[in-house]
Structure 1
Amino acid sequence: MRRRSRKDPVPDVRMTAVEALAAGWRDHPETVEWLRDQAVKCRDSWIREGAMRALGAQWPGDPAIAALLRDRATSDDTLNVREAALDALAAGWQDDPHTAPFLRERALTDESQTAQRKAVRALCARWPGEDDTRAVLHHHLNAGHWNEMVRDVALTELAAGWPDDPATATALVRHATDDEAASVREAAVTALGAGWRHDPRTGGVLRDRAEHDPDDTVRLAAVQALAPRPAAPAPDGPADEDAGS
């Protein structure tokens, strides 16, 4: 299996061989050390990625593995390896007090916007409702993150996770009108129509976007959000009593 992980010409086969070796020989004393070595020293990024996944799947909760994953999530020069390390940490070390702060740091400072989005999604999935997670989302929105996909994810997660927070509606209204990216304006318009129809600002914002937004996808989303919703069906009444009872 080690030979297949090194020699197969297909990257997916090499990565899968690493994960299969970890699953099948987990209790062999050399397996974890070999994986740790491959995670750091192997020149093949597919093998490093497979080692991240294997270590996370087979040794969750191990503090030494967590330290290795944090190092690789920060230091590896290949994005897929860093992302695999982030995934493994979020899934296997949710109760480790270092994990959430580390993911927040990656969400704010990673050089890759895709890694930032992955960290944001992991925080919202694993630590929903936490004030520190919400602060990361507002930071990306208030600071006007340079990448529209990061703003889009932050806005969508904020709407899903904090619908009762007045600051959420304010952020949606602001980005529906002022964000320079059509995809973010569309996300904000859609969210307002779905969850904030009774907010006094929503109708005006949607009508304005339906008429004046320069992007047709945003105008369409606003028109759809303004459309009346079908009334919910009335609940069934009590079953008729048997005749003659």
Structure 2
Amino acid sequence: DLRDQVIEQLIQGWQDHRDTLALLQEWARSDPDSRLRATTIKQLAQGWKDHPYILPLLEEWARSYNYSFEQLAEGGQDQPWLWEFLCDRTLHDPFEHKGQRTYNPRKIALEAILKYYPNHSQTRSLLQDRAEHDPDPKLRKFAQKQLSLRMKN
């Protein structure tokens, strides 16, 4: 897609230009194309992860757009608040299945925890809790499977 190429060119040639970050933030916030928003968020997480405004913005977007959890975790796994944020989303996101193609934000947050915090002292207990108590049967099954895989290792 042409717009994806524009984003790549901005990152490659104009990352240090004062307007590039603002333009990408605007696209990530309000572009009507969700795929372009996702691409932009990923680029912001990768290219500006040390910028003081990016991680709070990624957190804001993660609350609004499910696909942001991965970018958030990728860009800020060394941030002390990120574990708590992902746990909160795993435990308290009000998601309910309303169709086949709906992505559960609790599952996406849990997957990010398993990928970026597999050895955290509370990961296993969180996984156990979701395996027993999550209102979504698909997430309970996923958590049960992850627990059994961890028992084998």
CA offsets per residue over residues 52-102 of structure 1, 9 Å max, x none? 332123323444211111111112122122112212211221221211111
Q: Could you tell me which runs of 5 or more consecutive residues in structure 2 were left unpaired when the two chains were aligned.
A: 97-102
Q: Which has the larger radius of gyration?
A: 1
Counterpart code for 1:107:
A
Dislocated runs of 4+, deviation >3 Å: 163-166
Instruction: Give unpaired runs (5+ residues) of structure 1.
Output: 1-11, 16-46, 198-228, 231-245
Root mean square deviation, CA, Å: 2.3
Q: Is this contact kept in 1: 2:90–2:106, CA < 8 A?
A: yes
AA paired with 2:129?
Answer: R
Please list the CA deviations of residues 111-137 of structure 1 after superposition, one character each: whole Å capped at 9, or x if unmatched.
Answer: xxxx332x2111222222422221221
CA contact (8 A) 1:104 1:123 kept: yes
- Normalised to the residue count of structure 1, the TM-score between the two structures is 0.53
Measured in 2, the distance between the counterparts of 1:149 and 1:54 equals 33
Mapped contact 1:172–1:192 kept (Cα < 8 A): yes
Q: Distance in 2 between matches of 1:186 and 1:129?
A: 29
Which residue in 1 is equivalent to 2:91? 142
Point out which structure has higher relative CO (alpha carbons under 8 A, 6+ apart): 2
Partner Cα distance (2:76, 2:120) in 1:
17
| CA shift for structure 1 position 150 | 1.4
Alpha-carbon separation, structure 2, partners of 1:151 and 1:126: 19
Whole-Å Cα distance in 1 between the matches of residues 121 and 52 of structure 2? 29
With structure 2 as the length reference, what TM-score do the two structures score? 0.80
Does 2:72 correspond to 1:123?
Answer: yes
- 1:84-163 to structure 2, matched below 5 A, reads 84-108=39-63, 110=64, 115-117=65-67, 119-146=68-95, 149-163=104-118
Report how many aligned residue pairs link the two structures: 147
Could you tell me which residue of structure 2 aligns to residue 192 of structure 1? 147
